[in-house]
């Protein structure tokens, strides 16, 4: 069938198998061009099929030559529906890894569940023995614990917050007011997006003797500028990220070196859903591309692995790795703030890189990738 993008708001309901394959190959080629790293050799990536998780897996495999085991939660094609982009990405990754003799297997299921943890640990014990790096890169809307389903929310805490945003349905500048989360909603968001499950994974791996003595674990976070703080850093999601940071210290105290990496704002399935952030990203792209220091997911993760294995980690006062260092430079943020204050419907196109934003968005689902014939019939049912 001929596959075209079908977008509703911040969700694309189709994915292009050939486009996803080419996007993965482009990321692999980038990492290989940067040279080899003397780093991790057996890696578990929890949340491995898109964005930072996929980029981490590519950096580990094709940068360090690592065997990788991934955990994803994706759907195959069904009838006239395409598979999810994560499904196609993973198929492509495994194909290219196999071509270079690299171990690559993937478990598809709910990473929060005990069943998936057991399946992953059984694979590690039978195939790898132990792992030396665990990357935790989950961004999920809900988590089931026992009989309880916790749902995360994107809200402020304390009081309502009003600011500019962009309506992704029509690229229009609008104003949005976010209401404060209830205590129950904050608790649920921490349950879903905090560090509890990360710690559960590490404890399960330790109990099974599936971690090397020098093992490291990473989880990803974001802080951002004051523009986004009320609904992110100081919002319900920020409470979860604070819990993630506290968990990193607890895991380290219990014998496994754990870091939170604060990454750059980028177009991902998750960031597209957060009010205010897409408009900020479109301005940030404009500024950073002009300065020549813009990075995508794969550039960020290859640079992170370079820091982790042989470079300077660039830790802040809380012990977090600051991969947002170029984003948060004073000159970058000064220009972003100036544009934010003056942006309106008349100068919107001049002050943003919405073309770049949408290009990255469509690329998440395999569309708009150079070298792909989108008029051609493609096989969508990929095992």
Instruction: Residue count of the chain, please give it.
Output: 383
The burial of 341, by beta-carbon neighbours within 10 Å (0-12 exposed, 13-18 middle, 19 or more buried), is given as exposed
Q: What is the 8-class DSSP label of residue 84?
A: P
**CA dihedral sign of residues 242, 244, 247, 252:** negative
Nearest to 164, CA basis, from 279, 336, 266: 279
Both tokens assigned to 322: 């600051």
Stretch (H or E) spanning 288: helix 277-291
Bridge-based pairing of strands 11-12 and 42-46 is unpaired
The active-site residue out of 232, 259, 280, 285 is 232
Q: Measured between alpha carbons, how far is 365 from 5 in angstroms, rounded to an integer?
A: 8
Q: Which residues are CB-neighbours of 316 under 8 A, at least 6 positions away?
A: 262, 322
Both tokens assigned to 131: 């792992």
N-terminal to C-terminal alpha carbon distance within the chain? 16
As a whole number of angstroms, the longest Cα–Cα distance in the chain is 61
Q: What is the 8-class DSSP label of residue 233?
A: T
Nearest to 234, CA basis, from 322, 316, 166, 160: 160
SS3 content of the chain, % helix, strand, coil (to 5): 40, 20, 40
CB neighbourhood size of 29 (10 A): 13
Helix (DSSP H) and strand (DSSP E) numbers for the chain: 12, 13
3-class secondary-structure state, position 351: helix
Distances 189 to 96, 104, 150 between C-alpha atoms, Å: 36, 32, 7
Nearest to 20, CA basis, from 71, 94, 108: 94
Instruction: Examine the residue annotation and report whether 30 is marked as an active-site residue of this protein.
Output: no
Q: Measured between alpha carbons, how far is 188 from 329 in angstroms, rounded to an integer?
A: 34
Supply the residues annotated as catalytic.
Answer: 232
């Amino acid at each position: 069938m001929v596959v075209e993008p079908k977008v509703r708001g911040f969700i694309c309901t189709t994915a292009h198998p050939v486009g996803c394959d080419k996007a993965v190959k482009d990321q692999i080629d980038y990492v290989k061009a940067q040279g080899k790293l003397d780093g991790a050799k057996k890696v578990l990536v929890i949340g491995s099929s898109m964005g930072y998780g996929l980029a981490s897996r590519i950096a580990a495999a094709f940068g360090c030559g690592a065997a990788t085991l991934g955990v994803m939660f994706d759907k195959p094609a069904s009838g006239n529906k395409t598979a999810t982009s994560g499904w196609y990405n993973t198929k492509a990754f495994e194909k290219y890894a196999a071509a270079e003799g690299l171990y690559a297997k993937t478990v598809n299921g709910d990473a929060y569940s005990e069943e998936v943890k057991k399946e992953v640990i059984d694979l590690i014990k039978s195939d790898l023995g132990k792992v030396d790096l665990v990357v935790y890169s989950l961004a999920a809307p809900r988590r089931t614990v026992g009989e309880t389903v916790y749902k995360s929310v994107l809200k402020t805490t304390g009081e309502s917050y009003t600011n500019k945003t962009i309506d992704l349905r029509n690229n229009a500048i609008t104003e949005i007011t976010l209401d404060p989360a209830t205590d129950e909603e904050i608790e649920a968001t921490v349950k879903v997006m905090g560090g509890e499950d990360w710690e559960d994974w590490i404890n399960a791996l330790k109990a099974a003797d599936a971690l090397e003595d020098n093992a490291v674990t990473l989880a990803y976070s974001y802080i951002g500028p004051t523009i986004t703080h009320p609904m992110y850093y100081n919002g319900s999601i920020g409470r979860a990220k604070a819990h993630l940071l506290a968990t990193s210290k607890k895991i380290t105290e219990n014998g496994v070196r754990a870091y939170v990496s604060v990454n750059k704002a980028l177009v991902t399935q998750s960031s597209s859903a957060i009010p205010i952030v897409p408009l900020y990203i479109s301005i940030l792209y404009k500024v950073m591309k002009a300065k020549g220091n813009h990075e995508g997911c794969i550039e960020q993760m290859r640079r992170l692995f370079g820091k982790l294995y042989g470079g300077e980690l660039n830790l802040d006062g809380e012990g977090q790795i600051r991969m947002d260092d170029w984003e948060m430079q004073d000159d970058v943020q000064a220009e972003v703030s100036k544009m934010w204050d003056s942006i309106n419907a008349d100068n919107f196109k001049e002050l943003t890189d919405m073309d770049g934003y949408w290009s990255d968005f469509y690329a998440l689902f395999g569309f708009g990738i150079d070298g792909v014939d989108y008029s051609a019939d493609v096989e969508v049912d990929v095992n």
